[in-house]
Structure 1
Amino acid sequence: MPQWSDYSTGERIKILRGREIKQTQLAEMTGLSVVTIQKAEQDKTLSLPTLLAIADSLGVDTSVILGQQAPRRSLCREDRAMLRTLSHAVHDTAAGALPDTEEEPTLAQLRTMTERCWSTYWQGRYSEAGALASPLLKEAAAHLHAQPAGEQAAAWGALADAYRVSAYVSNLLGVRDLAYAAIGHAQHAAQMAGDGIREALVTSGRSWVYLRDARLAEALKLAEKSAIDIEPKFSRATSDELTAYGSHVNFAAVVASRMGDKERAADFLSQSHATGARMGSEHRAHGTLFGPVTATTQAVGVNVSLGQSGKALALAESIRDVSGLTDAARNRYALDKSMAQADARMWDASLDTLEEALVRSPEWARHQALPGVIADKVGRASTARLRRVSKLIGGHTGTGFAQATAKTAL
Structure 2
Amino acid sequence: MSASLGDRLREARKRAGLSQRELARHSGVSYSLITKIEQDERRDTRMETLHRLARVLDTTTTALLTEPAVDDPSADGHSTPPQWHGVQDALTDTATDVAEAPTLRGVQELAEAAVRAYRSTDYDALAVLLPGLIRDSHTLAEITPQGGPLRVRALTMAGRLMTQTRQYAVADTALSRAMHYAPDTPFAVAAVDLRCWLLLRRGRVEEVLELVAQWADQIEPRFPRATPTELSLYGWLLLRGAAAAGRDNRPDEAKGMLRLAEAAAVAAGRPHQLRQLGFIHTFSVSAVRMQRAEYAMVRDRPDDVLRLSAQVGVEQMSPTSGSRNRHLLDVANAQTRTRRYGPAVETLMSIYGNAPQWLPHQRYARDIVRSIVERRRTLTPEMRQLAGVVRLPL
TM-score, shorter chain, exceeding 0.5: yes
Deviations 1:333-392 (A, max 9, x none): 111111122223333222222222122221111111122211222334327665522323
Q: Which residue of 2 aligns with 1:25?
A: none
Q: Which residue of 1 aligns with 2:362?
A: 368
Paired letter, 2:309? A
Distance 1:344 1:226, change over 3 A: farther
The within-5 A match list for 1:18-29 is none
Q: Which residue of 2 aligns with 1:144?
A: 141
Paired letter, 2:125? E
Tell me, yes or no, if the aligned pair for 1:301 and 1:312 is still in contact at 8 Å: yes
Secondary structure at 2:375's aligned position in 1? coil
* Paired residues, number: 314
| Aligned residue among 164, 170, 179 for 1:172 | 164
The normalised TM-score by structure 1 is 0.69
Q: Provide the C-alpha distance between the structure 1 equivalents of 2:389 and 2:223, rounded to a whole number of angstroms.
A: 47
Q: Which residue of 1 aligns with 2:96?
A: 98
Give the Å deviation of 1:83: 0.9
Q: Which residue of 2 aligns with 1:272?
A: 261
Are 2:354 and 1:354 aligned? Answer: no
Distance 1:332 1:271, change over 3 A: same
Tell me, yes or no, if the aligned pair for 1:130 and 1:166 is still in contact at 8 Å: no
Q: Provide the C-alpha distance between the structure 2 equivalents of 1:127 and 1:223, rounded to a whole number of angstroms.
A: 33
* Alignment root-mean-square deviation, CA: 2.6
Q: Which structure 2 residue ranges, 5 or more long, are not aligned? A: 1-75
Give the Å deviation of 1:112: 4.5
Tell me, yes or no, if the aligned pair for 1:122 and 1:329 is still in contact at 8 Å: no
Give the Å deviation of 1:87: 0.7
Deviations 1:73-96 (A, max 9, x none): xxxxxxx33410001110002xxx
Deviations 1:162-216 (A, max 9, x none): 21211121222222221121111111101xx2x1111122222222222222222
Tell me, yes or no, if the aligned pair for 1:282 and 1:294 is still in contact at 8 Å: no
Are 2:324 and 1:335 aligned? Answer: no
Paired letter, 1:292? V
Tell me, yes or no, if the aligned pair for 1:200 and 1:229 is still in contact at 8 Å: no
Tell me, yes or no, if the aligned pair for 1:250 and 1:269 is still in contact at 8 Å: yes
Give the Å deviation of 1:236: 2.5
Q: Which residue of 2 aligns with 1:220?
A: 209
Deviations 1:273-332 (A, max 9, x none): 222223343222132321122221222122212223232222112234442356212211
Tell me, yes or no, if the aligned pair for 1:122 and 1:327 is still in contact at 8 Å: yes
Q: Provide the C-alpha distance between the structure 1 equivalents of 2:271 and 2:117, rounded to a whole number of angstroms.
A: 18
The normalised TM-score by structure 2 is 0.72
Tell me, yes or no, if the aligned pair for 1:99 and 1:138 is still in contact at 8 Å: no
Tell me, yes or no, if the aligned pair for 2:286 and 2:313 is still in contact at 8 Å: no
The within-5 A match list for 1:8-407 is 70=78, 80-93=81-94, 97-98=95-96, 100-106=98-104, 109-147=106-144, 152=145, 154-190=146-182, 193=183, 195-285=184-274, 286=277, 287-288=279-280, 289-325=282-318, 327-382=321-376, 386-397=380-391, 406-407=393-394
Tell me, yes or no, if the aligned pair for 1:300 and 1:312 is still in contact at 8 Å: yes
Q: Provide the C-alpha distance between the structure 1 equivalents of 2:262 and 2:311, rounded to a whole number of angstroms.
A: 13
Distance 1:242 1:118, change over 3 A: farther
Q: Which residue of 1 aligns with 2:23?
A: none
Q: Provide the C-alpha distance between the structure 2 equivalents of 1:387 and 1:71, rounded to a whole number of angstroms.
A: 34
- Give the number of the structure whose alpha-carbon radius of gyration is greater: 1
Deviations 1:229-272 (A, max 9, x none): 32222322333333322222112211212212221111111122
Deviations 1:142-161 (A, max 9, x none): 112223xxxx4x43333222
Paired letter, 2:82? A
Q: Provide the C-alpha distance between the structure 2 equivalents of 1:239 and 1:175, rounded to a whole number of angstroms.
A: 33
Distance 1:396 1:372, change over 3 A: closer
Distance 1:304 1:170, change over 3 A: same
Identity %: 21
Q: Provide the C-alpha distance between the structure 2 equivalents of 1:244 and 1:328, rounded to a whole number of angstroms.
A: 18
Q: Which structure 1 residue ranges, 5 or more long, are not aligned? A: 1-67, 73-79, 398-402
Tell me, yes or no, if the aligned pair for 1:338 and 1:350 is still in contact at 8 Å: yes
Distance 1:132 1:99, change over 3 A: farther
Deviations 1:105-147 (A, max 9, x none): 22x5544433443343243333433432211111111112223
Tell me, yes or no, if the aligned pair for 1:371 and 1:393 is still in contact at 8 Å: no
Paired letter, 2:352? L
Q: Provide the C-alpha distance between the structure 2 equivalents of 1:121 and 1:359, rounded to a whole number of angstroms.
A: 16
Q: Provide the C-alpha distance between the structure 2 equivalents of 1:280 and 1:118, rounded to a whole number of angstroms.
A: 25
Give the Å deviation of 1:228: 3.1
Tell me, yes or no, if the aligned pair for 2:335 and 2:343 is still in contact at 8 Å: yes
Q: Provide the C-alpha distance between the structure 2 equivalents of 1:250 and 1:133, rounded to a whole number of angstroms.
A: 28
Tell me, yes or no, if the aligned pair for 1:280 and 1:292 is still in contact at 8 Å: no
Q: Provide the C-alpha distance between the structure 2 equivalents of 1:210 and 1:128, rounded to a whole number of angstroms.
A: 26
Which structure carries more relative contact order (alpha carbon 8 Å, separation 6+)?
1
Q: Provide the C-alpha distance between the structure 1 equivalents of 2:299 and 2:177, rounded to a whole number of angstroms.
A: 34
Paired letter, 1:222? L
Tell me, yes or no, if the aligned pair for 2:365 and 2:390 is still in contact at 8 Å: no
